[in-house]
Amino acid sequence: MEELDECIPDNRSNVQEVIEERELGRLVNSFLYTISKEDAAVFVGRCYYGFSIHELARRWGLTERQVKYRLSITRRKLKQYLIRKGVIL
């Protein structure tokens, strides 16, 4: 690994954080395949693309209340999934 010293700074905590972030991203992606496509799309629209509740409701033909409910349930399921995978204790 000495040949990488010039291009990769020796900051192990940052490297570890990058590894942990990638693993978390992989787990979240895996989780999305365990829920309905519509719930996954609403969740991704909100969390990754930053769409408003109003915009998600309009895009998916839902009420704002339904969008909020779906997001709440999806977050709860994600938390349970991450606990089962040992990420959250």
- What is the predicted pLDDT for the residue at 7? 44
- The CATH number that domain 11-84 falls under is 1.10.10.10
- What is the predicted pLDDT for the residue at 13? 60
- What is the predicted pLDDT for the residue at 12? 54
- What is the predicted pLDDT for the residue at 36? 96
Buried b (16+ CB within 10 A) or exposed e, 14-43: eeeeeeeeeeeeebbeebbeebeeebbbbb
Q: What is the pLDDT along the chain (89 residues), one digit of tens a residue?
A: 444 444 445 555 677 776 777 888 899 999 999 999 999 999 999 999 999 999 999 999 999 999 999 999 999 999 999 999 988 75
**DSSP secondary structure of the chain:** -GGGTTTS---HHHHHHHHHHHHHHHHHHHHHTTS-HHHHHHHHHHHTT---HHHHHHHHT--HHHHHHHHHHHHHHHHHHHHHTTS--
Its pTM stands at 0.76
